C-alpha cells in the first residue's frame, strides 16, 4: 500500500478531512469495496482495496480517472502545457479553456486526455477549487486568482495511476442504483451522495447537471434496504437533517462534526453536524 496517495481533484463534499472519523466504522474484512458516488475519491485512495467497483454519474470525472489509469504520462505532458500557458496570461487562458465546452463541435473533438487535463487544470485554477456546472453541463466556476497553483502534481498522478493498475478496480459511469447491482453478500459499500440541504439556500448539486433531490434520497434509501436484505454492509454519509434522520431511523446513526469549507462566504464556513449511517454494529 502506498500511503502517499492524495486525491487529484478538490471536490464539493470531499472526505479528506473526515477520513479519520469514517475509518472508525469501516469493517476490517470484506470481499469487494463499492463506492457509487466516487467524487474526489479520498476514501478509496486511503483504503486502497484490492478489489473495488466505483462509480460516478459525472462523465468528466470518470474520464479523469480512466485517463490517469491508462495514459498518465500523456496527461502529465498535457498539464505541463496548460501550466506554461497559464504562467503567460493566467486569467485569459483560464477563460479560454473554460469556454471550450460552450461549442459542442469543438468540445467533442477533444481527446479523452485533453478533456481530463482540462478538468484538472480548471479544478486547480478556478475559484475555491469548486467543480460546478450549469444546467447545460457547462463548467461555470470563475477564475481563482491563485499565484502559483499546483497544476502538475506529477507524484500524486503517478501514485494514483499505479494503484488503479495494480488493484482490480472497475470504473463505472452511471446511476448509483445500477452500479450497486454488483454488490453481493460479504461486500462493503461506502456511499457519499449529494447531501440533503440543511436550508433552502444550502443545496449544492452543481457537480453534475442532473441534480439530486429528496426523491433521489428516498430512492437511495430503498437501495440501502435492498443491500441490507442481501447481507451487504453499507456506510453512508449525509447531513444531519430531520429528513435524513427519519429516513434512516431503522439503522445505526452516528453524528460527527464536519467543517464546511466550500462556501463562498468565509462566515458560513464552520463546523456542522453530519451523519454516518450503517447497517452493522
pLDDT for 173 equals 98
Task: Determine the 3-state secondary structure of 174 from DSSP.
Answer: coil
pLDDT for 258 equals 83
Residue pLDDT, tens place only, 157-210: 999 999 999 999 999 999 999 999 999 999 999 999 999 998 765 544 455 555
What integer best gives the mean pLDDT of the chain? 91
pLDDT for 100 equals 97
Instruction: Assign residue 108 a region (left: φ > 0; alpha: ψ between -120 and 50; beta: otherwise).
Output: alpha
| Range 259-268 average pLDDT | 53
Beta-bridge partner residues of 139: 133
| Range 103-123 average pLDDT | 96
pLDDT for 206 equals 53
Among 172, 177, 191, residue whose Cα is nearest residue 61 = 172
Q: Which of 201 and 116 is assigned the larger pLDDT?
A: 116
Binning pLDDT at 50, 70 and 90, where does residue 137 land?
confident
pLDDT for 131 equals 85
* Single pTM value for the model: 0.91
* CB atoms inside a 10 Å sphere around CB 47: 17
Amino acid at each position: 500500500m502506498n500511503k502517499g496517495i492524495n486525491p487529484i481533484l478538490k471536490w464539493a463534499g470531499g472526505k479528506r478531512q473526515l477520513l479519520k472519523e469514517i475509518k472508525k466504522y469501516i469493517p476490517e474484512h470484506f470481499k469487494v469495496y463499492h463506492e457509487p458516488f466516487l467524487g474526489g475519491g479520498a476514501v478509496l485512495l486511503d483504503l486502497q482495496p484490492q478489489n473495488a467497483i466505483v462509480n460516478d454519474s459525472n462523465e468528466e470525472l470518470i474520464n479523469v480517472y480512466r485517463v490517469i489509469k491508462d495514459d498518465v504520462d500523456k496527461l502529465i505532458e498535457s498539464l505541463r502545457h496548460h501550466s506554461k500557458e497559464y504562467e503567460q496570461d493566467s486569467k485569459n487562458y483560464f477563460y479560454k479553456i473554460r469556454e471550450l465546452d460552450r461549442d459542442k463541435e469543438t468540445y467533442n473533438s477533444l481527446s479523452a486526455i485533453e478533456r481530463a487535463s482540462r478538468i484538472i487544470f480548471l479544478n486547480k485554477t478556478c475559484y475555491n477549487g469548486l467543480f460546478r456546472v450549469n444546467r447545460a453541463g457547462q463548467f461555470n466556476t470563475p477564475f481563482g486568482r491563485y499565484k502559483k497553483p499546483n497544476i502538475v502534481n506529477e507524484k500524486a498522478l503517478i501514485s494514483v495511476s499505479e494503484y488503479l493498475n495494480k488493484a482490480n478496480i472497475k470504473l463505472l459511469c452511471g446511476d448509483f442504483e445500477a452500479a450497486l447491482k454488483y454488490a453481493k453478500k460479504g461486500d462493503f459499500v461506502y456511499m457519499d451522495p449529494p447531501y440533503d440541504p440543511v436550508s433552502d439556500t444550502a443545496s449544492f448539486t452543481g457537480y453534475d447537471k442532473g441534480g439530486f433531490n429528496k426523491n433521489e434520497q428516498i430512492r437511495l434509501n430503498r437501495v440501502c434496504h435492498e443491500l441490507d436484505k442481501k447481507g451487504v454492509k453499507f456506510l453512508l454519509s449525509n447531513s444531519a437533517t430531520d429528513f435524513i434522520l427519519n429516513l434512516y431511523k431503522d439503522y445505526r446513526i452516528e453524528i460527527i462534526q464536519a467543517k464546511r469549507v466550500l462556501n463562498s462566504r468565509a462566515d458560513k464556513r464552520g463546523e456542522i453536524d453530519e451523519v454516518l449511517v450503517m447497517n452493522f454494529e
